[in-house]
Chain A
Amino acid sequence: MESIIQYLWLIPTAPLLAAGAGALLPRRRRRLSAGLAIGAISISFLLSCAAFWATLHSGRATSNFRWFDFGTTSVQMGWVLDPLGAIMAVMVALVSLLIFIYSLGYMAKDENFTRFFCFLALFAAAMLGLVIANSLLLFFMCWELVGLASYLLIGFWFQKPSAAAAAKKAFIVTRIGDLGFLVGMLWLYAKAGTHLFYDHGQGCLEPAAAGGLVASTAIALLIFCGAVGKSGQIPLHVWLPDAMEGPTPVSALIHAATMVAAGVFLIARVYPLMTPGALQVVTWVGALTAVFAASIAVAQSDIKRILAYSTVSQLGYMMMGLGAGGVAVGMFHLTTHAFFKALLFLGAGSVIHGCHEEQDIRKMGGLRLRLPVTFATYAVGMMALSGVPLFFSGFWSKDAILDALHHWRGSQVPFYLGLLGAFLTAFYMTRQVCRVFLGKPMTVEAEHAHESPPVMTVPLLILAALAVMVGFFGTPAWPWFQAYLDGGSAGFDLSKLMNEHQLPVMLLSTALVAAGIVWSGWIYGRASARPAREADPLEVAQPALFACVQKKFYVDEFYDATVVRLTTAFARFCDWLDRVVLGGLVRAVCWLALALARLDRNVDKSVVNEGFDIGTEAVRGAGQWVSRLQNGQVQRYLRVIGLAFCGLLILLLWGCA
């Protein structure tokens, strides 16, 4: 334990270095870039396994360091090794490794192959960093970086305008949630005085701080905002189906198995902060999302979009598990889901690859013979996702959630929603398998489909094995997973499986799953022989409802009409404010100054100048008149003098008299 914690930072750093190298490599160094990424993720995987091994024997270890100073304190960061992080790290590294290998085959012909592995490695680095982070700040930073990697990979085929738009949408929509997360994080930081999770009793998750937090429901809900965005919960789920524009390995790794589960992991990580009130919200949001997305999946025809809505729905289950059952319940479903959903996506990729980039399930059919390995593994994934009893992992993890919901003190509605979701899941997965693999080929492409190379099918086989086996680690009879996360030990006890506590829920969900599979098989198993252009049997039965569901309940349209339009209008308003109002004010001041200047000029011209002119003119006139007197004629001077003399004389005499 002490030794492995010293090297824990290598888990994210190895792929980070591979990403950095991959970014600098020239485009033609394809094999080197892929080799570096796969080598790095292998190192991460081995280290994660070592870390996992260490956590089997001892509790929690942390290693903190100072990032930078401010005021009289400093920002601390660090990493933590505990069962929650270790199991997540192993899962992420393993799924990443398998998908990296699969990508060798899937992306073999892409001209940006080198960059693809660079981005994948960047993603793995950020995701693994998030998993081992021991501070909410570091968690947030890695969280944003996985968002970046997701952005880069959704928009990987940037020539497609739809991919570029989807990438932007994903980043913006998740950032809306992230801003709530940011505020929650800063608030927590201010209230608790630290954002380290564990710090020898002083961390924000440890009782000393977490217990004394004021307003912690608000903080918990703000942090949950981030999870809603990243994990595609209602109302921020709209980006995830669009994210399927990315290459299929990306959909499998980021938008099914790992990154979208980061929101669930976040809630599991900060669970001590989650107040009962906050957990109520988590459960309800999860329940609504689970049913809402599952019902949309029923009416989609794009193979990846069905899986995307299925992912949204399953993430809702995980949230319900966290809210009603606790960390172990949510995390168990997260783990099993990661394997079987990665399997399904990679299987879908194999189908798409085999059918020459066709994604519409109505144009497939009969692929079971042409892609036998894909079909067999896909069927395993489908049964795991649907929750077929006993042998498939999805059954055990979903059952744990339903059981927790059944015993939840809040309300029984989420339990019924969960059951409805289970039925819908079985229904749409059966529909998909019937359309893709059973019946006859609908198009020439499907007719000439080919099985993928071993570099793609071997990861499928490994994932299929995991999709079955992982479930056995968390059955009620042997709840090893739950005990591991709680730090206890689990004994094998078959009777726990059979008690009246568990059995009714188990039987009920099994019955619903069976109903879903049979009903869907009955509709689509027969319909799959029909030509592609013919309407879906459900569409024939309920055209209006089907259209509404197919259009995803018009949520995107609703957002376009409200949020997007308001934002654009606000932007225009600000522009107008600048150009017309404030700019106008400045111009008005300018004009005022000009007008004053003009007035001044006119005053100058008409009053000052002309007054001066008139004045000078008068002086000049007077001068002229005076100068006329001085014309130089002496006779005239004498005459004037004589006259004046006479005048004075007369005046004098007059006066004397």
Chain B
Amino acid sequence: MILTILTFLPLVAGVLIALLGPDKQKLGRNLAFAASLVALALAVVLWAAFDNGHGGMQFVENDSWVPSLGIEYHLGVDGLGLLMVLLSALIVPFAMLASWKIENNPKLYFSLALFLESGLFGTFTAQNFIHWFLFWELSLIPAFFLIRIWGGPKRTSAACQFFLYTMAGSVAMLAAFLALYAATDAASRSFDFAQLAQIAHQGGLFAAHTTLATAVFLGILLGLAVKVPLVPFHTWLPAAYSEAPTGTAMLLTGAMSKMGVYGFLRILWPIFPEQMQAWRVPLLALAAATIVLPAAAAFAQKDLKRMVAYSSINHLGYCLLGIFAAARLTKSSALFSNEQAAALNGVILQMFNHGLTASALFYFVGLIEQRGGALRGLDDFGGLRQAAPVFCGLMGIALFASLGLPGLNGFPGEFLIFKGALHLASRAALLSIPGLLFTALFLLTILQRVFSGPLPSKWSGWPDLTLGERLTVLPVMALMFVLGLFPQLLTGVANPAVLQMLKSF
């Protein structure tokens, strides 16, 4: 039951808050925040009750929904799902605090954020495609309105591009799944992920239709590739992230961008192992491109938000590199499967840690924008460290976490991904290495241009972080250190799920 409660709590709370009278703006906001905290508490309970000992689904709920079409209400989480639920539950209150001072209809803003949270929880817990797809789309709609209503000057085109691009991917994915359903013989028709994976494992999914199998695979791939995004389907992202209001950008990069990677692991990996294998080389090339090209492009940006947006693409590229590298069918040798396990554990670590770090970076850039009177160019500032040492120090920690400094949370994931990838896909891994250098280059450029040098008199009164702002980032900063020093907290949860995935590959 706990998963159902968790999924619908934000949805119900969001509806109730939206129904409040227009004069109850503050009340709505506070209630929404409280609801997100309750969700966080529930997620923590889930984590505490989770059994790290086995890699299968836990807290399973399975009821029939539309039995004639093979649609079930099937919920469950394994280590991967649990970590994503936890991440979403962490990011939403963080993003809400970042949006605390929104003046234009905060009640609506916060209830939309709750709808989005519900979409995230649903996506990360659903085990049936139709059910999963409903929540996948549900998360898109509030995101569209959050950008469209509260975004920057170019919000209309950014929101439309975001929505249409993602929607096109979703349509391809839906069509692919329907084709899959239609093509399987009536006895084994299903939308259930586990059943599909089992049928695929026995070789019965596309017995005689290899072309169709490829088409279906590519359709689903397109939907996920747009969401992650995979180069060259990424051009919607810089615009959407930089036009979105800070809190929304945090939700987009912190939680929503994980939906795509999650889809790769939950759908493509178990159901289409042969196709993953067949398309591995081009996909690896695209993953390397996703790592290197956006990192280099970030270096050419002048807008801080766009820089951070590009860095987000680059970091998710490491996840894709790990997944594609591990998708290699071979004779089972212990060393080999350990390299695969390293890569996949690294992917999950990277998903979680990137969520924390990237949302923290957007938070800081948002504060810069807010204090700078809507200025957020790389060259608009300088020497801010003098006026705001705590600000600079904390943002510096987030930047270094993002570039993978050991001791902070970014390192273990990237280490494991490269450990696996270097062994399983040496060329792609070596091609991706320059991405690590570019990342350092543009992140340090931010530190250099914004925080060092002489302080212009214009900014001499630049306020340092207030107590409220410090308390807002404190939990996330603390997690950066804790997860960097004790990655076992994450791998302990993720590893059983990874072993399970490897068994079924």
Chain A contacts to B: CB under 8 angstroms: 23, 27, 67-73, 115, 137, 140-142, 144-145, 148, 151, 155, 158-161, 163-165, 167-168, 171-172, 175-176, 179, 182-183, 186-187, 189-190, 193, 567-568, 570-575, 577-578, 582-583, 585-586
Cβ-based interface call for B201 (8 A):
no
Cβ-based interface call for B109 (8 A):
no
Measured CB to CB, the nearest residue on chain B to A180 is B433
A23 to B397, CA, bound (A): 12
B453 touches A70 (CB 8 A): no
Cβ-based interface call for B83 (8 A):
no
A572 surroundings in chain B (CB, below 8 A): 300
Cβ-based interface call for B72 (8 A):
no
A567 surroundings in chain B (CB, below 8 A): 296, 299, 441
Tell me which of A69, A72, A148, A155 contacts B400 (CB under 8 A): A148
B419 touches A190 (CB 8 A): yes
Cβ-based interface call for B436 (8 A):
yes
Among the stretches B37-45, B206-214, B490-498, the one at the interface with A is B490-498
Best-buried of B406, B412, B415 by chain A (most CB within 10 Å)? B406
Cβ-based interface call for B277 (8 A):
no
Among B260-291, those with CB < 8 Å from A are none
B199 surroundings in chain A (CB, below 8 A): none
B293 touches A577 (CB 8 A): yes
A190 surroundings in chain B (CB, below 8 A): 339, 419, 422-423
CB distance from B402 to the nearest CB of A (A): 14
B418 touches A182 (CB 8 A): yes
Cβ-based interface call for B174 (8 A):
no
Answer whether A574 and B445 are a contact pair too, CB < 8 Å, given A71-B345, A171-B440, A182-B418: no
B451 surroundings in chain A (CB, below 8 A): 158
A136 to B405, CA, bound (A): 16
Q: Could you show 30 A-B contacts with beta carbons less than 8 Å apart?
A: A68-B491, A69-B488, A69-B491, A69-B492, A70-B345, A70-B491, A71-B502, A72-B341, A73-B338, A140-B406, A141-B411, A144-B406, A145-B405, A151-B444, A158-B453, A159-B454, A160-B453, A167-B448, A171-B444, A175-B440, A182-B418, A186-B418, A186-B419, A567-B299, A571-B438, A575-B300, A575-B301, A577-B297, A578-B238, A586-B165
Cβ-based interface call for B81 (8 A):
no
Cβ-based interface call for B407 (8 A):
yes
New A-B pairs, 8, CB < 8 Å, besides A67-B488, A70-B345, A167-B452: A27-B389, A69-B492, A69-B495, A70-B341, A71-B340, A175-B437, A179-B436, A573-B296
Measured CB to CB, the nearest residue on chain A to B404 is A144
**What 9 A-B pairs come out closest when comparing CB atoms?**
A71-B341, A164-B452, A141-B406, A71-B338, A575-B300, A574-B297, A68-B488, A571-B300, A571-B299
Cβ-based interface call for B235 (8 A):
yes
Range for the number of chain B residues in contact with chain A: 35 or more
Chain B contacts to A: CB under 8 angstroms: 161, 165, 231-232, 234-236, 238, 293-294, 296-301, 334-335, 337-342, 345, 383, 385-386, 389, 393, 400, 405-407, 411-412, 415-416, 418-419, 422-423, 430, 433, 436-438, 440-441, 444-445, 447-448, 451-455, 486-488, 491-492, 495, 498-499, 502
A168 to B383, CA, bound (A): 15
A148 to B440, CA, bound (A): 12
Measured CB to CB, the nearest residue on chain B to A27 is B389
A70 to B417, CA, bound (A): 12
A158 touches B418 (CB 8 A): no
B300 touches A574 (CB 8 A): yes
Tell me which of A172, A186, A573 contacts B422 (CB under 8 A): A186
B405 surroundings in chain A (CB, below 8 A): 144-145, 148
A72 surroundings in chain B (CB, below 8 A): 334, 337-338, 341, 499
A424 to B334, CA, bound (A): 57
A68 surroundings in chain B (CB, below 8 A): 412, 486-488, 491-492
A172 touches B418 (CB 8 A): no
A395 to B334, CA, bound (A): 54
- Secondary structure type dominating chain B contacts: helix
A142 to B400, CA, bound (A): 14
Tell me which of A70, A73, A148, A161 contacts B452 (CB under 8 A): A161
CB distance from A472 to the nearest CB of B (A): 39
Tell me which of B235, B385, B415, B488 contacts A578 (CB under 8 A): B235
CB distance from B494 to the nearest CB of A (A): 9
A376 to B341, CA, bound (A): 62
A605 to B412, CA, bound (A): 62
A159 touches B299 (CB 8 A): no
A105 to B153, CA, bound (A): 54
B297 touches A172 (CB 8 A): no
Tell me which of B338, B342, B345, B444 contacts A168 (CB under 8 A): B444
A182 to B421, CA, bound (A): 13
A172 to B393, CA, bound (A): 20
B491 surroundings in chain A (CB, below 8 A): 68-70
A140 to B234, CA, bound (A): 34
Answer whether A574 and B293 are a contact pair too, CB < 8 Å, given A69-B492, A71-B345, A175-B437: yes
B453 surroundings in chain A (CB, below 8 A): 158-161, 164
Best-buried of A71, A172, A190, A573 by chain B (most CB within 10 Å)? A71
A71 surroundings in chain B (CB, below 8 A): 337-342, 345, 495, 498-499, 502
A187 surroundings in chain B (CB, below 8 A): 422
A583 to B233, CA, bound (A): 10
Measured CB to CB, the nearest residue on chain B to A68 is B488
A161 touches B454 (CB 8 A): yes
A183 to B419, CA, bound (A): 9
Measured CB to CB, the nearest residue on chain B to A573 is B296
B495 touches A158 (CB 8 A): no
Answer whether A70 and B296 are a contact pair too, CB < 8 Å, given A145-B406, A158-B385, A165-B448: no
A175 to B405, CA, bound (A): 11
Tell me which of B296, B335, B441, B499 contacts A193 (CB under 8 A): B335
CB distance from A213 to the nearest CB of B (A): 15
Measured CB to CB, the nearest residue on chain B to A112 is B389
CB distance from A572 to the nearest CB of B (A): 5
Answer whether A164 and B411 are a contact pair too, CB < 8 Å, given A68-B491, A179-B433: no
B342 surroundings in chain A (CB, below 8 A): 70-71
A23 to B393, CA, bound (A): 9
CB distance from B442 to the nearest CB of A (A): 8
B406 surroundings in chain A (CB, below 8 A): 140-142, 144-145
CB distance from B25 to the nearest CB of A (A): 37
B385 surroundings in chain A (CB, below 8 A): 158
A182 surroundings in chain B (CB, below 8 A): 418, 433, 436
CB distance from B321 to the nearest CB of A (A): 14
B498 surroundings in chain A (CB, below 8 A): 70-71
B416 touches A70 (CB 8 A): yes
B238 surroundings in chain A (CB, below 8 A): 578
A574 touches B294 (CB 8 A): yes
CB distance from B52 to the nearest CB of A (A): 10
